[in-house]
Amino acid sequence: MSGGEVAGILVAVFWAILVSFLAVALARLAQTLRATTKLVADVTDQAVPLLADASAAVRSAQTQIDRVDAIASDVQEVTSNASALSSTVASTFGGPLVKVAAFGYGVRRAIGGRAKDAPAKQTRRTVIVGRPVPQARRAKRANRNKRD
């Protein structure tokens, strides 16, 4: 065998090894692609019903929002009507009721007399020069001076 024949055999062996590695890689790639295709098909089968359910939920939420909007507008109308009614009642009856209450108070005060409502008059204290201050008052004054 010459050097060229040995080189040819080595190249053929390396090509055979390379082709076998490529064949194994292509087989695994084909297996991965089949698994990916199956996974995509399964996801599609599950996603379509989920999307249909989500669409139905969104439609239901929209109808509920429309109902709440109608209720809110009705409540706003009732509130404005109640406000108008309250201002009408206050302007119609408010002034006269205050006057009647004031008149009633004046009548009660006039009939009841001022003796009950008048504040009690304070008694005047007289100081006698040379008379000693009682013991209890002296103690209070001493404590008062200590605080200052």
Using CA atoms of 19, 20, 23, 28 in order, give the dihedral in degrees to the nearest 10.
-140
Q: What is the pLDDT along the chain (148 residues), one digit of tens a residue?
A: 788 899 999 999 999 999 999 999 999 999 999 999 999 999 999 998 899 999 999 999 999 999 999 999 999 999 999 999 988 888 888 888 888 888 889 898 888 865 555 555 566 666 667 666 566 555 666 666 665 4
> b or e along 102-131 (b: 16 or more beta carbons within 10 Å of the residue's beta carbon)?
eeeeeeeeeeeeeeeeeeeeeeeeeeeeee
pLDDT tens readout for residues 97-108 = 888 888 889 898
Length reported for the chain? 148
pLDDT tens readout for residues 40-52 = 999 999 998 899 9
Cα–Cα distance measured from residue 78 to residue 84, given in angstroms and rounded to the nearest whole number: 10
What's this model's pTM, rounded to 2 decimal places?
Answer: 0.39
Cα–Cα distance measured from residue 11 to residue 8, given in angstroms and rounded to the nearest whole number: 5
